[in-house]
Amino acid sequence: MVTAMDTVGKNTSAHTKRAVQLGPRITEAGGENVHKALTRDGELLAVKKVKVTLKEEDKTLVEELQMEIKILSTTSHQNIVQYRSCELVQPKYRTNETCELRLYMDFVHHDTLETRYTEFPLSERQTRRYTRDILSGINYLHEKNIVHRDIRCANIWVDDTGVCKLVNFGKAKELKHRREKIIISAEAQSFTSTGYPHWMAPEIAGKSEPYQMPVDIWSLGCTVLEMLTRERPWGKDVEELDVITELNSHQIPTIPATLSEAARNFLVKCLQPKPENRPTAKKLLDDPFVNPEELDQLGSEDSSIPFVPEDDTLESETNSEDSSNDSASESTVEQEFCLELTVDEMSSLVAKELEDREDDPQKQ
């Protein structure tokens, strides 16, 4: 009898247990158990490790892993993490209960977008560049009739050159043809197969109709909102069941009025309650918010001006940390400004500062 895990285990290659040396866990990888690994040839890889059993309760997990392997093995795009191979590792003393699936991918020196916006307030300029990368990856998937179903900042890696890559295809679904739709089945009642409610499209939350590619466009809008506000859509304190209620009432997350017109217009297009009213990924690539020519016209000074949500709760929470946050923001802006100076300009500024201090004893 061939089990689901037997099928997964067949998709192996030269990256075997003996050929790869496992390294430390990559803690920034969206909460997944992902490690560095070094091949015999000295190449760094990323290894996603998942413990599974042959028991019936792991059937959904195994099916997700099979789909992730199938999709990643047939995709190749600069904004999607590159799959290499997989292997099934049996325990030293075989018990037929637990084994470990290892999914090998290109190693990316990265943060997740969630880590990035937590550590650094993202300007709209930065957000727009990241959004174009994400959208480019989504468009590639949709052209191959693949729905990701779990677009959010935690599932997007940003490499050390600022390029975004979609990861975690465990919830993804490949459609047989362009017109096929995904029917919401009984196992989706707990949302384990369809992502997280804060990024979930209304048609999934309502469980009332089949759905398709537009669910990724809704999640993209939520992800952009997440980058700009530095918290999950609908608010960090809103419970999942409350989000479902809002979605079933055809509500959308709050779009701050302080965002630029281009940002607000882009979000409104993505966050249409009816899926047929959302643009395709291909059409959104022409939107001014992510248009390369529009990005080039943005002044360089924009890169140091982060968006600050106009939220009374957020303001009250941050008042106690005003002095530390203000000094951190100022130092960040000063540092970015200094990086744009030449050596001669920097020397002149330092000399002038020293001269001013000599003239004004209070500055000494």
| Catalytic positions | 150
- Taking CA atoms, 225 is separated from 210, 318, 344, in Å, by 26, 20, 41
Name the CA radius of gyration of the chain, rounded.
Answer: 24
For the purposes of burial, counting CB atoms within 10 Å of the CB of 102, is it exposed (0-12), middle (13-18) or buried (19 or more)? Answer: buried
CA distances from 342 to 339, 345, 354 (A): 8, 5, 19
3-state secondary structure 141-194: HHHCCEECCCCCHHHEEEECCCCEEECCCCCCEECCCCCCCECCCHHHHHCCCC
Residues whose CB falls within 8 Å of the CB of residue 128, separated by 6 or more in sequence, listed in order? 262, 263, 289, 290, 294, 295, 298
What are the residue ranges of helices labelled H in the chain? 4-9, 59-72, 113-119, 124-143, 202-205, 214-229, 240-248, 261-270, 281-284, 292-297, 312-319, 322-339, 343-359
Residue 76: helix, strand or coil by DSSP?
coil
Distances (CA, A) of 311 to 36, 171, 229, 250, 314: 40, 33, 10, 23, 5
Give the closest residue to 80 by CA, choosing from 135, 119, 21. Answer: 135
362 phi, psi to nearest 5 deg: -65, -20
Q: How far apart are the first and last CA of the chain?
A: 82
DSSP-derived 3-state class of residue 208: coil
Q: Which of 219, 217, 185, 359 is nearest to 281 (CA)?
A: 217
